[in-house]
Structure 1
Amino acid sequence: MKKVIILFILAHLVLGAKRYCIPDIKANWFKAHEFCTTLGMELISIESQAEHNALIKFIRSTDKFSNATRFWIGASDLAEEGIYTWISSGRLVTFTNWAANEPNNINNTEHCIEIIHNIYINQVWQWNDMECRNEIAYFVCESEDIQCVDNF
């Protein structure tokens, strides 16, 4: 089964100890999280401007990039309205790149974060809260090699 799933991954990047990939499918936020987990990965956490910039550079290098595209990342306020946390660690989201007037939780249904690059609505690599279940988008998975014992 894992071999079949890996065939769907077209874009990947390694930066230091972290690996990133964009599967060749679109999904809602929950399915995106599930798919990343089956790969032994998580939806991406972005904790600095440098990580955000590296992600953008990676996305721009793939065939998933267009003038109107969106990508799920691993943050939501599903546990507590208005308090965004990373699904991989449970840590609070401290770095953000919200679009103007975001997050806005339209109709009390927008709880998951996406990155949007859409020149037609003047949102360029900005974050937006979106309805988790119905919106279908590409997504970015990440993994980090964990070493339990330091080299000596």
Structure 2
Amino acid sequence: QRRNAAIIRKPIFEEFFLFYIALCQADFQKKQILSGKTVFVSKMRKNWFDAKDYCLNKGYTLATVKSAKENGELTNVLKTMPVATHTWIGGIRHSQESNFRWEGTQKQIDSTVYTNWEQGEPNNGRGVEFCIEYWNDVTKKIEWKWNDNDCKTRTDFCV
């Protein structure tokens, strides 16, 4: 009879585990494996700091882009999403610094590494733009370029 009890417990655990996995990923629209990374795009909108905290609580980090290949793969995923114009990624510039950094590694984002800035960006518009987003605006002929934006803006995010 103990053997039967063990058999009953296992499926309950498996069902709980699968439910947990489904619940964790219910907040994301798209899952794609790119260059050895699994990428998710959120269904919800959060400011940059809340998106970062949300990711950390789920065991993720906001997306980082280290090469043109990664950038192309990531933008291809974003292009399949419903019309989105702004999507947070993991770059931030602290007010006392001149360069942006990738949040997870603290690696500087400067002229020595790959970048995909829109022309004229980053510009710290309004003096409050410290976080990096993908920006897509067909009316301005901007296709998934990096932009610095106000970290308090609520938008999609990519992990």
TM-score range, shorter chain: 0.7 to 0.9
TM-score of the aligned structures, taking structure 2 as reference length: 0.78
Q: In structure 1, what is the equivalent of residue 85 of structure 2?
A: 69
Displacement, 1:16?
4.5
Q: Sequence identity, in percent?
A: 26
Q: Which amino acid letter does the alignment assign opposite residue 90 of structure 1?
A: Q
Answer yes or no: is 1:85 the counterpart of 2:122: no
Which of the residues 143, 146, 151 maps onto 1:124? 143
Matching residue of 2:53: 34
Paired residue total = 137
Q: Distance in 2 between matches of 1:120 and 1:112?
A: 23
- Report runs of 4+ in structure 1 exceeding 4 Å deviation: none
> In the alignment, what sits opposite 1:140?
158
The structure where strand makes up a greater share of residues is 1
Q: Structure 2 stretches of 5 or more lacking a match?
A: 1-19
Q: Contact (CA 8 Å) 2:88, 2:133: kept in 1 or not? A: yes
Pick from 7, 10, 14 the counterpart of residue 33 of structure 2: 14
In structure 2, what is the Cα distance between the partners aligned to 1:122 and 1:62?
A: 18
Q: How much has 1:34 moved relative to structure 2?
A: 1.1
> Which amino acid counterpart does residue 90 of structure 2 have in structure 1?
G
Letter in 1 for 2:154: I
When you count helix as a share of all residues, which structure comes out higher? 2
SS state at 1:43 partner: coil
Deviation, 1:127, is 0.9
TM-score normalised to structure 1 length:
0.82
Structure with higher RCO (Cα < 8 A, 6+ apart):
1
> Looking at CA atoms only, which structure, 1 or 2, has the larger radius of gyration?
2
Match of 1:46 in 2: 65
What is the alpha-carbon distance in structure 2 between the residues aligned to residue 70 and residue 81 of structure 1?
24
Q: Deviations over 1:41-63 (max 9, x none)?
A: 10001011110000011112233
For 1:37, the aligned partner's letter is L
Q: Is the 8 A contact 2:55 2:62 kept in 1?
A: yes
